Structure 1
Amino acid sequence: MADDDKSEYLMSNLTQSVDRKSTDENYLAAHPPEQSDASTKVNPFSSPVLWLSGGFLALFVLLAVFDTSALSNIIQVGFSKVTQWFGPFWQILLLANFIIGLYLAFARTGDVKLGNRSTPEIDTFKWLAIVLCTLLAGGGVFWAAAEPIAHFVSSPPFYGEAEGRTLAINALSQSFLHWGFLAWAILGSLAAIVLMHLHYDKGLPLQPRTLLYPIFGDKALNGWIGTLTDTFCIIAVAAGTIGPIGFLGLQISYALNALFGVQDTLITQSLVVLFAIAMYTLSALSGLSRGIQLISRYNILLSAALIIFILLFGPTSFIIDGYMQGVAKMVNNFVPMSLYRGDANWLSWWTVFFWGWFIGYGPMMAIFIARISRGRTIRQLILSISIIAPLITCFWFSVVGGSGLAFELAEPGVISTAFEGFNLPGVLLAITSQLPMPSLIAVLFLILTTTFIVTTGDSMTYTISVVVTGSTEPSGAMRAFWGILMGLVAIALISMGSGGISALQSFIVITAVPVSFVLLPSLWQAPKMAKAMAEQQFGKPSLNHAQASHSQTEHSQTKHSQAKQSG
């Protein structure tokens, strides 16, 4: 932390200390800011959270390498139980999180400024670019191409059987639900509000354990509850990040083989992952103000250029129509689709899988959002992350996946054949092959895919390091350790073939179980804290007109009654 920032941080907490006892004393206690960074005074590699989380990942890889079948059997049993028992809970959790967030945005609490700062720390374009690239990058390129055609080939059970254009719109609508409002809201709305208030206003550490402070008090900060909470959250987000890193190796290697004849082997896949490791580790080492912002900005520019190109030379009419009709159909069926339970087996491999993946990212993404969103209002935070970003994501899916659907409708089999066997890398190349200058566009998409994954890798490397050390400026050694570890785990898993990545995908869902209970208290703590901040920043709300009239009427009736009694 820079000296100026630290001075401002210490002063802001000092001025808050006068009235801390008057604000919800049951769950907000004063903790000097220095305690948040206390772990930087000792060797961060002695942290129990580091050894528990790092050791667990190492054990996972050892089992995957030496006894793949046993690990797969254990994970598949756990996966089936988790999706059966926790699927409905997760569906309700995400829907409630989204609705409560909207309420806070449009109520009086929407004007509350977060982070103990009057103006935004990062300008709006850079901030939105970082948010979009970080939260979408985990699978936005892979799934934008593959999920719509997957739902076209096999119709989602909510919509039932359909044909032609109707089936294509249904496929887009289902994809929009999975990557839309609910997915984004769980990554950076209510939990981010809680963390920003407790960290910047009250001096508590910027760690997942802080989300449980209102429930468990000091036990969450200094006891085994906090240690396990941070460990579970790190394992979940590491698993969720390792998967896309591994997919990147498979995607680039497959594409290099198809485009340039480079052999699609483990060596090629590993070299791609090693290159990604170097990129995102160096970016993480450069900090938020340089590497992450720079890559995010170029991600957005390259994405915009590809969108414009496809709109000019691709199936423009279907892209626009598919977006408008798909969003309209998704919004019209929003609650029934969100709570659909008609086909538990299908849900376990689609909706519940995605919800588990995003929940696993939740606390760590909330920490990252809290770190970059100082000075934003609750309304800006909620509407940007829960509404604007999802609508942009849906348009991206329409451009990439919608183009694939349009090509498939015009020439059946041209995209679906490439998708056979759930071939994610093949779909993207099949789509680009139908566009002008196919090789160039394919290469640009591969560059975009790489930079997206680099953005996710560096932001999660930074955030995990923040959690382990308790410092908002973790050491370069800690950032490098996590960056390299996640990349090496990805290489170990892809070396096992489809079994390793498949086991990791199912494991991601299992890790989301404890994390979902970490996020749960935010449903009622965020409104409570938002109300307290609103009263602190604006004073208690005045009576509205109806309340005032009612109060005046009661006062008149009381006076009239007293007059009659005295008479």
Structure 2
Amino acid sequence: MTAESVPATGAKSRLLTDSDPVVLTLTIGFILLFVGASVVDSNYVAGLIGNGFTWTAKYLGSFFQVLLLLTFFIAIGTAMSRAGAARLGGLDKPEISRFRWLSMILCTLLAGGGVFFAAGEPVYHFVVSPPASGAEAGTSAAVAPAMAQSFTHWGFLAWAVLGSLTALVLSRAHYGQGKPLQPRTLLYPVFGESVIQGRLGGVVDAFCVIAVVAGTVGPIGFLATQMSFGLHELFGVTDGYGTQLTVLAVLAGVYMTSAMSGLHKGIQLLSRFNVLLALAIAAVILVFGPTLFLVNTYTQSMGEYMSSFFAMATMTSETAPAWWMKWWTVFFFAWFIGYTPLMAVFVSRISRGRTVREMIVAVAVLAPIATTIWFTLLGGSGIYHQLAGTFDLTEALGNFQFDVATLTVAQALPGGTWMAAAILLLTTIFVATTGDSMSYSIAMVGAGHDEPNPWIRVFWGGAMALMAAILLYMGAGQIGVLQQFIVLTAIPVSLIILPSLWTGPKAAMAMAREQGVA
């Protein structure tokens, strides 16, 4: 009998026994400490995390950048090698069909913020020209550099770190050597059995879970504010905490129900629906929107991205304003690093039967290209209307009001109010997919096996929604403080994933030798 078939009463009683006590204690302890300290003195907590955020961005930003660069190029090299033909998990064919598999990969990361930033970030870089660009802000010459800067943050480097080399290490150790599908297993090739059985492994897992909680509660909370604002603007619904709480309840209900149905039902259903909805929205924008402008913008922006790839990816506070690096490149790169171990757990779990080459190309090449197209459709449309004078988002984006930017751009798209409503629905299901998949991954980490108790998934999904509700009650700014905290968690997590630069290719080659393909 698997965890999927355990009766509800028995499942509830196993909530604690099916979780690693070290992981559970440290993670719940962090949530209680952060929320409690925020209630007592939110300004002190914000100042403490803000100072840590500034220090990390200043002294470790370059390390994060180099880590992402090396991960991408080593992953591509591994995919192109003979080891690329090895299959993950030793299966002759994949467990999950290609469309469903790609949908799950796309929806899990893009929901983490890509949808939230897709409309506003390119326009921001257009009205506030990025340091790597010599073009005058707000002019036609600034269009391609603005889009290329967004591609840098959400493109090849971001995706590659999330599920390429680390997923290889986990797949080899889990399916080939019987080790648990947990972040601690990333260190197994270095420290051996001691990190699997000892308390150090629990601490490693806890750091990674805390990073994901911090990174996921943010989008959940921001979605509530965005939906509340959008419903008010579109349909006259009161924009306030009551509406935000209702949105959170509906969102949590969706992904907690999905979590109960398991990996092969809920997550796949949400992902497929969202990909189809995104394709429909993209088709409408491309056909009925400023088609020629968008096509030309994508071509020029991709060319700018390729030609300025290293200049944008390696820029430091010595050549760019410290505040800009802190709030843009370093923030995003640290966010992706924080997500990496649990995303790798998820990618490894859903990619069984795929070849090494298939997985790396899907995660590090195809998914980033799809993301850049999506950013061009939404962000490029925003730039088009900003240039045409349809609206002016300079002040809103200067105040980092991305909810205002997203809705303003959406209303200017073909279909107006209906398109805006569709994009709000799309964003909601995207975030629900992230909540679902990360709840599943956290539950796997705690349980140490592939089929965690469904009630543990529900518990973590509910815990993140409750945390978002409490922080929103204190003010949306506290959600932002938690988002900054993920930059601090990237410090230990970066050390956990660092060995994958050499253990990832070794794992792929070992699988290839065992399967007789190298």
* TM bin (shorter chain): over 0.9
User: In the TM superposition, what is the alpha-carbon distance from 1:41 to its structure 2 partner?
Assistant: 11
Q: 1:389 aligns with which of 367, 384, 403?
A: 367
Cα displacement string for residues 43-66 of structure 1 (whole angstroms, at most 9, x for unaligned residues) = 125622111111111110111122
- 2-side partners of 1:46 and 1:379: how far apart? 33
Q: 2:413 aligns with which of 435, 439, 444?
A: 435
Kindly report which structure 2 residues correspond to 1:549-560, keeping only aligned pairs within 5 A, or say none: none
Kindly report which structure 2 residues correspond to 1:377-456, keeping only aligned pairs within 5 A, or say none: 377-411=355-389, 413-456=391-434
Deviation larger for 293-302 or 339-348: 339-348
- 1-side partners of 2:395 and 2:330: how far apart? 27
Kindly report which structure 2 residues correspond to 1:222-233, keeping only aligned pairs within 5 A, or say none: 222-233=197-208
Cα displacement string for residues 144-166 of structure 1 (whole angstroms, at most 9, x for unaligned residues) = 01100111121111113425122
Residue matched to 1:89: 63
- 1-side partners of 2:442 and 2:93: how far apart? 27
User: In the TM superposition, what is the alpha-carbon distance from 1:496 to its structure 2 partner?
Assistant: 1.9
Does residue 158 of the first structure (1) align with residue 132 of the second (2)?
yes
Cα displacement string for residues 358-384 of structure 1 (whole angstroms, at most 9, x for unaligned residues) = 111000000000000011111101111
Residue matched to 2:263: 288
Contact 2:20 2:202 in 1 (8 A): no
Kindly report which structure 2 residues correspond to 1:237-248, keeping only aligned pairs within 5 A, or say none: 237-248=212-223
- 1-side partners of 2:330 and 2:128: how far apart? 17
Residue matched to 1:187: 162
- 1-side partners of 2:15 and 2:43: how far apart? 44
Deviation larger for 331-340 or 174-183: 331-340
Q: 1:111 aligns with which of 85, 91, 94?
A: 85
Once superposed, which parts of structure 1, at least 4 consecutive aligned residues long, lie more than 6 Å away? none
The AA in structure 2 aligned to 1:234 is: V
User: In the TM superposition, what is the alpha-carbon distance from 1:42 to its structure 2 partner?
Assistant: 7.8
Cα displacement string for residues 230-277 of structure 1 (whole angstroms, at most 9, x for unaligned residues) = 000000001100000001100000001111111111111111011111
- 2-side partners of 1:72 and 1:415: how far apart? 27
Residue matched to 1:208: 183
Q: Secondary structure at the match of 1:241?
A: helix
- 2-side partners of 1:432 and 1:244: how far apart? 19
User: In the TM superposition, what is the alpha-carbon distance from 1:2 to its structure 2 partner?
Assistant: 5.2
Contact 1:206 1:367 in 2 (8 A): yes
Q: 1:72 aligns with which of 46, 55, 58?
A: 46
RMSD: 1.9
User: In the TM superposition, what is the alpha-carbon distance from 1:466 to its structure 2 partner?
Assistant: 0.5
Residue matched to 1:138: 112
User: In the TM superposition, what is the alpha-carbon distance from 1:141 to its structure 2 partner?
Assistant: 1.5
Q: Secondary structure at the match of 2:133?
A: coil
Contact 1:404 1:415 in 2 (8 A): no
Kindly report which structure 2 residues correspond to 1:1-80, keeping only aligned pairs within 5 A, or say none: 43-45=17-19, 47-80=21-54
Q: Which has the higher contact order (CA 8 A, sep 6+)?
A: 2
Contact 1:183 1:355 in 2 (8 A): yes
Cα displacement string for residues 298-348 of structure 1 (whole angstroms, at most 9, x for unaligned residues) = 101100000011112111111111111111111111122211111233111
Q: 1:492 aligns with which of 470, 478, 492?
A: 470
- 2-side partners of 1:529 and 1:253: how far apart? 47
Residue matched to 1:526: 504
Residue matched to 1:178: 153
Residue matched to 2:354: 376
The AA in structure 1 aligned to 2:164 is: S
Residue matched to 2:174: 199
- 2-side partners of 1:91 and 1:356: how far apart? 9
The AA in structure 1 aligned to 2:31 is: L
Does residue 461 of the first structure (1) align with residue 439 of the second (2)?
yes
The AA in structure 2 aligned to 1:159 is: S
Residue matched to 1:552: none
Residue matched to 2:72: 98
User: In the TM superposition, what is the alpha-carbon distance from 1:471 to its structure 2 partner?
Assistant: 2.1
Q: 1:350 aligns with which of 308, 328, 347?
A: 328
Contact 2:334 2:487 in 1 (8 A): yes
| Structure-2 change in CA distance of 1:41 and 1:202 (3 Å) | farther
Q: Secondary structure at the match of 2:27?
A: helix
Residue matched to 1:17: none
Q: Secondary structure at the match of 1:159?
A: coil
Q: 1:306 aligns with which of 264, 277, 281?
A: 281
User: In the TM superposition, what is the alpha-carbon distance from 1:502 to its structure 2 partner?
Assistant: 2.1
The AA in structure 1 aligned to 2:215 is: G
Q: Secondary structure at the match of 1:264?
A: coil
- 1-side partners of 2:395 and 2:43: how far apart? 30
Q: Secondary structure at the match of 2:474?
A: coil
The AA in structure 2 aligned to 1:391 is: I
- 2-side partners of 1:526 and 1:422: how far apart? 38
User: In the TM superposition, what is the alpha-carbon distance from 1:217 to its structure 2 partner?
Assistant: 1.3
- 2-side partners of 1:322 and 1:469: how far apart? 47
In the comparison of the two structures, how many residue pairs are matched? 507
Residue matched to 1:470: 448
User: In the TM superposition, what is the alpha-carbon distance from 1:80 to its structure 2 partner?
Assistant: 1.0
Cα displacement string for residues 478-529 of structure 1 (whole angstroms, at most 9, x for unaligned residues) = 1111011000111111122232022112111111110111110000001112
Contact 1:461 1:483 in 2 (8 A): yes
- 2-side partners of 1:140 and 1:499: how far apart? 20
**Where does structure 2 lack aligned partners over 5 or more consecutive residues?**
4-13
Q: Percent identity?
A: 47
User: In the TM superposition, what is the alpha-carbon distance from 1:440 to its structure 2 partner?
Assistant: 0.8
Contact 1:47 1:469 in 2 (8 A): no
Contact 1:418 1:430 in 2 (8 A): no
- 2-side partners of 1:42 and 1:166: how far apart? 58
| Structure-2 change in CA distance of 1:525 and 1:420 (3 Å) | closer
Contact 2:410 2:419 in 1 (8 A): yes
Does residue 319 of the first structure (1) align with residue 294 of the second (2)?
yes
Contact 2:67 2:498 in 1 (8 A): yes
- 1-side partners of 2:87 and 2:232: how far apart? 51
- 2-side partners of 1:45 and 1:538: how far apart? 38
Residue matched to 2:343: 365
Contact 1:414 1:430 in 2 (8 A): no
Rg comparison, structure with higher value:
1
User: In the TM superposition, what is the alpha-carbon distance from 1:437 to its structure 2 partner?
Assistant: 2.7
- 1-side partners of 2:511 and 2:85: how far apart? 10
- 2-side partners of 1:479 and 1:42: how far apart? 12
- 2-side partners of 1:137 and 1:402: how far apart? 19
| Structure-2 change in CA distance of 1:263 and 1:517 (3 Å) | same
